[in-house]
Structure 1
Amino acid sequence: MPDTTLEPTPEPRDAPADLAGPADDETPWAMQLVVRVERADPPTRTAACAAAATAVVTLLADERAQPDGPWEPAVRRWSDAAIRKHCRRARGAAWDRAAHLPGVTVEVDGAQVRAFVPTPTDAIPRELARLQLSGSEPADPERAEHVDALVDGPLVVSICPEPALPFGKAAAAAGHAAQVAAAQMSAGRYRPWRDAGFPVAVEHPGTAQWATLLATSPVRIVDAGFTVVPTGTTTALARWA
């Protein structure tokens, strides 16, 4: 179970359209995700994606992000436009410096990820802006190709097999899938998931299984093409029992 503590919060609001965007004269906003990647004991790709997904919904469910909370104006401004996320890496002192900024930290299977309150992309705090957006790909010796969606179990997020997503892109896509899933779930499904700490199981299906999941998954994340994949690429899916 993720290492988080949550207070009861209102149910999530409807998610905005995936490809919505700000007006041409507005600066885009983004949520920053930071994965802790220490040289001696780096996380696996799957664990980091699961932690990123859990961190996103944990921040959005936090009472500080709810109406009248101090984070709510920034969260609402960001979620009312394109849902952009940047996934960065940090270790040692850089991780410690970033941890003092407003956000929440989640640990899943040894992977630590911190989600930060969204900001304009031209006003990202220096402690975050200096962190790497890319780097070596983490090992993942036991990647699950398929996970059963169980009643009151974890949300299942599928990462697309083609094109192969860089680590940071996959983690951001997993976070986006979890966010949209939280908004689409019934209250009866959302509450036990929230009370369990928003567990997420990440799978890496093959191309045949991916084609089946594309037709059946209730959440489909279509990339807007801002970074490394073509516009319209489905990067992640999410489902639950």
Structure 2
Amino acid sequence: MSPTFTTGLQDRSVIVTGAGSGIGRAAALLFASEGARVLAADIDAAGAKGVTQEIKEQGGDATAVIGDLSDPLVIADVVTTAEREFGRIDVLVNNAGIMDRMSAAGETEDAEWERVLRINLTAPFLLTRAVLPHMLGAGRGVIVNTASEASLRGSAAGAAYTASKHGMAGLTKSVAVMYRDRGIRCNAIAPGGTATGIRLDLAPDASGPKVLRSYAHNIGRSSQASEQASAIVFLASDAASNISGVILPVDNGWAAV
């Protein structure tokens, strides 16, 4: 008989950051549909509570933590809440992120650099560090990060965002190789253009939009958040049990151009 495809996510405990909208929301709903218990973390209270309520209405188990993940106290709250509500932490999805102002390096102010790096790279590091003792104690665990097409090349998104997403790719590979003999897998998706509600606050005369126009024809169609979520759930599932350290482009072939 042919083996049966299974995600193995039934009753797993999953933390999804940035779960109030976009890719995070789609991932939270998809994990719940596979029988996972979901902690939805987001700075947007309405979004986080909305997705948890939707999961509960569909018969699932979910809880929300509201707060800015750049705050170590919020990181601690996410982990302690998941442990208290679900008894363990099986999967961490570091999805929360912000855009920069599409500023080139010479245009980037300290505040922009520090805020983007804090949310996009330092917060995922802190949350990864916080969940690892729980996963190592169980002898297994999966971390899936949301990197970006900007983690694979130079990007018109801006210096801060591009650096943060390259850092996310490096963090992913480091965790994968350091913990591969201890039951931990770590991968990332690299979305191309995706229809989400991510906030854009372009700097006046930012270089990014001008550069982007020069290669926009290579990007291809935008994906839906559900397509990115499917890749996240696959990488978190038992179907990907021998996949670790991968930065998976989900970009309609843009990375191949």
Pair in the same fold by TM > 0.5: no
Larger relative CO (CA 8 A, sep 6+): 1 or 2? 1
Which of the five TM-score ranges fits, normalised by the shorter chain?
under 0.3
